[in-house]
Amino acid sequence: MSDSMITIRGWLGGDVTLREVGEVPVASFRLACTPRKFNRRTETWSEGLTQWYTVTAWRALAQNCAASLRRGDPVVVHGRLETRTYVNANDVEVLSFEIDAVHVGHDLSRGTSAFTRAQRDVTAPATEEVKSEAAA
């Protein structure tokens, strides 16, 4: 399979929403990215159009996003990029950009953050990756 992977940084447009699909936690949030360019001739910065992405995270990443991220936080997201088209309430076809997150973190070029290691659920069954590491 050939997924389109993307790494993007931006600002959280709202708080993280955490829900469950089946029994699996899913977090989602909107990420705003506004490109800035420096014009050497005029010695000024100009901002481009803000691009909005819907970011979705699953399982432990979802829970960690919900516990760690707040509206306005600068973040870096790495994941699979998908585009979707739909017709809105005004009968206008809209193109949306969605990222299925693999990694999410605070953008430390914008500030500091403190890391707290998440506690593992020792009652949960081992994943294939953990099983294969134990066998090695």
DSSP code of residue 2: -
Per-residue pLDDT tens digits of the chain, which is 136 residues long: 578 899 999 999 999 999 999 999 999 999 999 999 999 999 999 999 999 999 999 999 999 999 999 999 999 999 999 999 999 999 999 999 999 999 999 999 999 999 999 887 666 555 555 444 555 4
- pLDDT at site 120: 73
Contact 62, 23 (CB under 8 A): no
Which residues, in sequence order, are bridge partners of residue 32?
11, 52
Nearest residue to 10 (alpha-carbon basis) of 57, 74, 61, 55: 74
**Domain count across the chain:** 1
Nearest residue to 11 (alpha-carbon basis) of 30, 26, 38: 30
For the record, the structure tokens of 63 come out as 């829970």
List the CATH number of the domain containing 53: 2.40.50.140
Give the number of other Cβ atoms within 10 Å of residue 52's Cβ: 13
Boundaries of domain holding 83: 5-135
- pLDDT at site 75: 98
- pLDDT at site 1: 59
Ramachandran quadrant class, 63 (left: phi over 0; alpha: psi -120 to 50; beta: rest) = alpha
